[in-house]
Structure 1
Amino acid sequence: MSETTDPAVQTFYDSLASHDAAALLDAVHNDFVLTLSPGLPLPGDREFHGGAVAVGNVWGRIPEDLGLRCEPDRTLPVAADEFVVLGHYRGDDWEAPFAHVVTTKDGKVASLRQITDTRCWPDLTPR
């Protein structure tokens, strides 16, 4: 299995890094589905349909003072339009490894299934 840099995947992670909600919404497909790891210390559902729903209920709810960064290290192709992205979430005084199963469609990210060690995460309840 070789590493790759898929433009849609790269654009998505760049938008996460910039904390730019508009860029993030532009990077995901209209039918985007986000599935969070069970046990992630963020109250609410584990599956979100639509980019605006994911931004509003997940990325937009994480307290800014955590300094959360999503840092991909490797992107591995699995099948046509499917990738496993390995990396780390990092924040002030904490880090957690992740694997994201990412699919693309029409040049945008169509789904992301998060796999992470939720015991490494701080409380994400909005303050």
Structure 2
Amino acid sequence: MDYEAENFINVIESEFDGSVDLVFDTVGGETLVESTEITKPHGQMVTILEPEGAWGTAYQKNLGVQMLFLERARRPLDALRRLVDRGQLDPVIDSVLSLEEVAEAHDMVEGGGLTGKVVLDVVGS
């Protein structure tokens, strides 16, 4: 889904019969609060960013809201790599840059509008 071209609430309403059990927010801002509209009562919401907005609806629907700090640990990354190697996970990559281009990579991520992840090639550097 292109979050800049499509309204995620409309997509959820049409693709998932109006609501979901779990929301995992990687966008930030008011996205999580807006997601309370399409989260089932007693559903779960997780964000990796600082959420904003008014939380009255989450309270009224008895939603669980969790803040997740992403830790840099090898074990989960190895598990993801195995999924990719087996063809069970197909990551969307916007750009591959050399380690020397790390400042450009940061600018791209901070600028938004990417269609996938920015990957730093540390082996080829």
TM-score per shorter chain, which class?
Answer: under 0.3
Q: Which has the higher contact order (CA 8 A, sep 6+)?
A: 1
Task: Give the alignment's TM-score, normalised by structure 1.
Answer: 0.23
Q: Give the helix-richer structure, 1 or 2.
A: 2
Q: Give the strand-richer structure, 1 or 2.
A: 1
Task: Give the alignment's TM-score, normalised by structure 2.
Answer: 0.23
